[in-house]
Amino acid sequence: MSTASSGFKLSEWIFTTDHKRIGILYLIGSIAAFAVAGIMALLIRIEQSAPGPTIVSDAFTGGDQYNVWLYFHGAAMILGFLIPGLTGFAANYLLPLMIGAKDVAFPRINALSVWLFWAGIVVALLTFIVPDKPDIMWTGYPPYSVNTAGNTALYVFTVHLMGFSSILAAVNFLVTIIYMRAPGMGWNQLNMFVWSCFTALIIQLIFVPVLASAVTLLLFDRYLGTHFFDPANGGDVLLYQNLFWFYSHPAVYVIFLPAMGIFYEIFATMAKNPIFNYKAAVYGGMCFIVLISGEVWVHHLYYSGMPDWLRIGQMVTTLMISVPVGLMTISLFGTLYKGAITFNIPMYYGTAALYLLLIGGLTGIPLAMTVMSVHLGETSFTHAHFHFIMGIFATFAVFAGVDFWFPKISGKMLNVSQGKLGFWFNFIGVNITFWPLFIIGVEGMPRRYWDYSQFPAHFAGYHKVATIGAFIVAIGMVLTISNWIISAIKGEKAPNNPWGSNSLEWTHTATPPGPGNFPKPVTVDADWTPYNYK
């Protein structure tokens, strides 16, 4: 890295306040979380490949082992991988470059954010060391999370650390985007990725405190003997669920928006086209999502005993999400129209994203309908739905993003054939994994079950296929991630702007960018946009 003028020095990384290095530290941490959580996914899938104990020791303690894997998988994938991978790594590395800034507004706070995140990863990993391993789910519902012998505190502290980290990051980047844009750069000239982070971070800033307070009350109930969620003493079980989803539904947009942002950048660059109907996507899409993201959380509580009128009211608001998401989708697809598309690894993922977005998005519609979700909720249909949109679409966005900006970040080119091979394993594998789960989900296969012997025998076949798929994905991931490592060390040297992009991070910086990012201060004129290829 050219930011390290004289080879690698550990202390330079530990004390760095450079947003690019902080971004890379986020990337390393989130990929580590992804890897461990991925191994948990494989254990879960092996266990589910047949009814009855497969790798857990026996029927009586099986749940205890399985629930720890499932806890870690869910919590680490969301809190440790996707959120830090998108609004941590990608936002850190790219936002200042895209808006022509030297760094973020508060570089030292930025360093604090990344180390809080790393502390969160360490606390999460303690799961495997403590004797009383957390056996709640990542949703942590009381009374179970208060009564269990498992260690709920580890969950709460992980949420606290990740939460503080992301609140600080949100403030930092919002200020950076508002005040540090290059002279002349108006709001309608921003990269789609900048807009997507801007809107995602507003959501993050508003809602993370709600989650932090919910889990803190949990901690009080558990260890200080308060009764916030204990009906026997005047508390209420549903209070937690409302607080939790008041954050955690908006959190899916914190993931979804930057993931879309990455694909917009890839599509515009590879098709050499402007964004189709930019303003509709930005204002009617992203900004509108910010407005309604907080009014739909009850769709996670359709069968939780909420008042009937609220279930119906939020069915309508939830279905309305199809408007902003639809506008963003039209804009994304439209960006290809009459383009001049070059196919390379990022565009392979981009093409797959068209399909993944549709499957993930459309299967959300029955789940948005109160009466449909009364059957489909908490089944493996739900499980396959959120894996398509988060576990695959958004995860592919992180991978495509790393592949796309890899030449800029590392100064090297990726090995193309290994990258494409990895893509095919990933893409084929996820389809083999998750389609069977849609099908048995409709038939009633509940999620979070490690044994399902009460169900018809043919469920086992579907589960087996899904398990094979998961191993195919695992091969794809190893190919993909090892490609990054090997190519960063001995890949071909990258040209300054290999994709011929028009965005500032490619046109105005060295490869990789040095300290201070831009050799000379950037100004842009009124008809500049990152997508102006004419």
Partner 1 sequence: MKRAVSAMVLTGLGLSATMAGAGEKVAMPDPAASWNTLWHHVLLDLFIIGIIFLAAGLYWVWKYRATRPNQIGEGPKLSKIAAISFAVVPSFLFMADDFFLAAKGWTVWNEYRNVPRNAMEVKVTGSMWSWNFEYENGVTTSFVVDSKEGEGLVVPLGKPVVLRMTSTDVVHSFFLPDYRVKEDLMPGRVTYLWFNPSKTGETLATCAEFCGNRHSFMWTKVKVVPQAEFDVWVAKQKQGAGA
Q: Could you say which residues in the range 370-409 bind ligand HEM, by CB under 6 A?
A: 383, 387, 390-391, 395
Q: How far is the CB of 452 from partner 1 (least distance, A)?
A: 7
Q: How far is the CB of 517 from partner 1 (least distance, A)?
A: 27
Chain positions 238 to 277 lying near partner 1, rule: CB under 8 A, are 238, 271-274, 276-277
Closest-CA residue to 214 (of 155, 300, 147, 298): 155
Q: How many residues does the chain have?
A: 534
Out of 19, 133, 160, 249, the only residue in the binding site for Cu ion (CB under 5 A) is 249
Q: How far apart are CA 237 and CA 143, in angstroms?
A: 7
**3-class secondary structure, 55:** coil
By beta-carbon proximity to ligand HEM, the closer residue of 189 and 395 is 395
Q: How far apart are CA 29 and CA 122, in angstroms?
A: 10
By beta-carbon proximity to Cu ion, the closer residue of 47 and 103 is 47
* Residue 141, CA distances (Å) to 133, 147, 189, 230 in order: 16, 11, 44, 12
Chain positions 139 to 178 lying near ligand HEM, rule: CB under 6 A, are 139
Q: How far is the CB of 43 from ligand HEM (least distance, A)?
A: 9
- Are 243 and 213 within 8 A, CB to CB? yes
Out of 126, 171, 439, 475, the only residue in the binding site for partner 1 (CB under 8 A) is 439
Q: Is 498 in the site for partner 1 (CB under 8 A)?
A: no
Q: How far apart are CA 268 and CA 527, in angstroms?
A: 17
Phi and psi torsions of 385, nearest 5°: -60, -55
x/- letters, 118..157, toward partner 1 (CB under 8 A): -----------------xxx-x-xxxx--xx---------
- Point out the residue whose Cβ comes nearest to ligand HEM: 74
Is the Cα dihedral 250, 403, 36, 26 positive or negative?
A: negative
Chain positions 443 to 462 lying near partner 1, rule: CB under 8 A, are 443-444, 446, 448-452, 454-458
Closest-CA residue to 187 (of 324, 282, 255): 282
Q: Is the peptide bond before 143 cis (omega within 30 degrees of 0)?
A: yes
Chain positions 315 to 354 lying near ligand HEM, rule: CB under 6 A, are none
Phi and psi torsions of 493, nearest 5°: -65, 135
Closest-CA residue to 159 (of 244, 281, 100, 279): 244
Out of 13, 106, 355, 528, the only residue in the binding site for partner 1 (CB under 8 A) is 355
Q: Is 64 in the site for partner 1 (CB under 8 A)?
A: yes
Out of 369, 413, 428, 478, the only residue in the binding site for partner 1 (CB under 8 A) is 369
Chain positions 166 to 225 lying near partner 1, rule: CB under 8 A, are none
Q: Is 385 in the site for Cu ion (CB under 5 A)?
A: no
Which does residue 249 bind out of ligand HEM, Cu ion, partner 1, none, counting CB within 5 to 8 angstroms by kind? Cu ion
Out of 89, 118, 138, 423, the only residue in the binding site for ligand HEM (CB under 6 A) is 138
- Over the range 378-402, which residues count as b (16 or more CB within 10 Å of their CB) and which as e? ebbbbbbbbbbbbbbbbbbbbbbbb
Residues of the shown chain interacting with ligand HEM in the complex, contacts defined by CB under 6 A: 41, 44-45, 70, 73-74, 77-78, 82, 137-139, 383, 387, 390-391, 395, 430, 433, 447-448, 470, 473
Residues of the shown chain interacting with Cu ion in the complex, contacts defined by CB under 5 A: 249
